[in-house]
């Protein structure tokens, strides 16, 4: 185990796709992905293991996970002489577009829920002592005093944060629409 290269230590994702791989796949996945990306051709497990200087076991583990995530695909070839199968791996660019699209859809869905909540609670009252928040009706019912601390409540307007969130949701919606168009026309 200690023979694994230290280059695994400083894998730093540089775009959305790399971020996705970095978060969901085991250590070393980003290094392997970049190798396949730079080679621009199929590689076998053995070739990858040799080029990266890591064990075949580790390579296999990463390949399977990246395959699960739709990031890699393989082609199987039976060697006549040995009757063994050889697997040729490459990046699944089409599958990746779909995976990323679905992931963005999930993010968008969560953001919309959050936005709806924030919009419904645009104005809140906040206790400077305990930090509890109260909706307008609750604050009114308590005479604008924190029922727990007896301290006067302060008014918070979240309009600015909501505007930022709205803008973000709108941009994400546009991005998604664009990508969907690209996939459908390819
Ligand atoms: Zn309080």
Specify the pLDDT at position 2: 43
Q: Is residue 52 within 8 Å of residue 26, measured between CB atoms?
A: no
The per-residue pLDDT of the chain, averaged, comes to: 88
For 72-87, what is the mean pLDDT?
Answer: 91
How far is 27 from 6, CA to CA, in rounded Å?
11
CA of 138 to the centre of ligand 1 (A): 13
Specify the pLDDT at position 15: 84
Residue 5 clears pLDDT 70, i.e. is over it: no
**What is the share, in percent, of the chain residues with pLDDT greater than 70?**
95
For 162-169, what is the mean pLDDT?
Answer: 92
**What is the share, in percent, of the chain residues with pLDDT greater than 90?**
54
Q: Give the sheet arrangement for strand 133-135, strand by strand.
A: 133-135, 123-126, 154-157
CA of 122 to the centre of ligand 1 (A): 20
Is pTM beyond 0.75? Reply is no
Q: 3-class SS at 110?
A: helix
Q: Is residue 74 within 8 Å of residue 89, measured between CB atoms?
A: yes
- Map out the domains of the chain with their CATH numbers: 6-91 (1.10.10.10), 95-185 (no CATH)
At a CB cut-off of 8 Å and minimum separation 6, what does 2 contact? none
CA of 114 to the centre of ligand 1 (A): 25
CA of 144 to the centre of ligand 1 (A): 11
Specify the pLDDT at position 4: 52
């Amino acid at each position: 185990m200690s023979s694994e290269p230290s280059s695994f230590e400083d894998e730093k994702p540089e775009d959305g796709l790399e971020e996705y791989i970095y978060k969901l796949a085991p250590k070393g996945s980003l290094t392997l992905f970049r190798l396949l990306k730079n080679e621009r051709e199929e590689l076998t497990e053995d070739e990858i293991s040799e080029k990266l200087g890591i064990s075949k076991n580790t390579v296999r583990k990463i390949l399977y996970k990246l395959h699960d995530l739709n990031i890699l695909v393989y082609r199987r070839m039976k060697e006549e002489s040995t009757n063994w199968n050889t697997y040729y791996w490459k990046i699944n660019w089409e599958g990746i577009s779909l995976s990323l699209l679905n992931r963005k859809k999930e993010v968008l869905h969560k953001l919309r829920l959050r936005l709806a909540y924030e919009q419904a609670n645009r104005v809140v009252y906040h206790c400077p002592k305990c930090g509890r928040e109260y909706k307008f009706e609750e604050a009114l019912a308590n005479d604008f005093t924190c029922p727990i601390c007896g301290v006067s409540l302060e008014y918070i307007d979240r309009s600015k944060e909501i505007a930022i969130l709205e803008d973000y949701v709108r941009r994400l919606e546009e991005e998604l629409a664009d990508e969907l168009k690209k996939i459908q026309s390819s």
